Amino acid sequence: MKLAKFTLARRVVLLVILGLFFFQLFRSKILIGGLTGSLILHWVNLLDLFAFLESALSSRSFQLEAFYSALPVLIFYLIMGRAFCGWVCPLDLVFRGVNRMKQRSKNLPAWTRGALLAPAGFLIFAALAQIPFFASHVSPITNFYRSISATFFWAGGLPGEISVLSISILILGGFLLLEFLWPRLWCKNLCPTGKTYGLFNRLSFLHVAITGEECRECQECRKACYMGVKILPGNGRTKIRDSSCIICGRCVEACSAQGKILKMRFGR
């Protein structure tokens, strides 16, 4: 089946970024680290914004170097919004594979619908326990990269802790089970990183725009959106600013008006 342009572009971007990270296993110095924290060309330090907040609260100190590492990420999301979840996060592709195994979904548990519940909970825990627990242990992205690197070292007969691999795979298995039972529950309601970046959708330059064309209400955009965003035009809206929107472009691709009603747009 021919992939629509945004879906194809997202997969290419994701695979390129994953490739750059995997090259470090072969001693490449282009990109070192993971999506939580990385070093580009031995020059630019990048630190995930939520990881920065969690680290600052757990250490009970403000580190200027860490702030400078988080600043480029902050600027990026002020421009791009929550595009990380749709274009960079490897879990989007993994969860998509799980979704294909099960087409129907259950209603989300009522206790998961608080938009800031998970981020606030992890930040409070970090402050009280003085441990950046989410970024270091829980994050599926952290465990994804940790399991890949541990498998690489184990397969190559290099020194490594088999317990690290086992724990990371076990945690990832839990996320896959969660995804199978309640598709996109983690992405929609529980992921602290995604919820934090979703706040920038209110200000970001990149967004899905709603034109003045009359909508036929075919519902195809709603069906295509696995984040449950209210897309149909109404109340004079001209932009989709929902914090759950990952700006993936699936709604634009699905619209029967073929770009006349919904458009991916960059600008204020």
The reported pTM is 0.83
pLDDT digits (tens, 9 = 90+) for 163-180: 778 888 999 999 999 998
Contact 31, 23 (CB under 8 A): yes
DSSP-derived 3-state class of residue 165: helix
Structural domains of the chain in order of their starting residue, each with its CATH number = 5-199 (no CATH), 205-266 (3.30.70.20)
Is pLDDT at 79 greater than 90 in this prediction?
yes
Q: Reduced to 3 DSSP states, what percent helix, strand and coil does the chain have, rounded to the nearest 5?
A: 55, 10, 35
Is the dihedral angle over the CA atoms 250, 256, 262, 266 positive or is it negative?
Answer: positive
Tens digits of residue pLDDT in 33-75 = 777 888 787 788 889 999 999 999 998 888 888 899 999 999 9
Angle separating helix axes 49-59 and 117-129, nearest 10 degrees: 30
Comparing CA positions, the residue from 34, 81, 57 lying closest to residue 208 is: 81
Burial 99-127 (b: 16+ CB within 10 A, else e): eeeeeeeeebeeeeeeeeebbeebbebbb
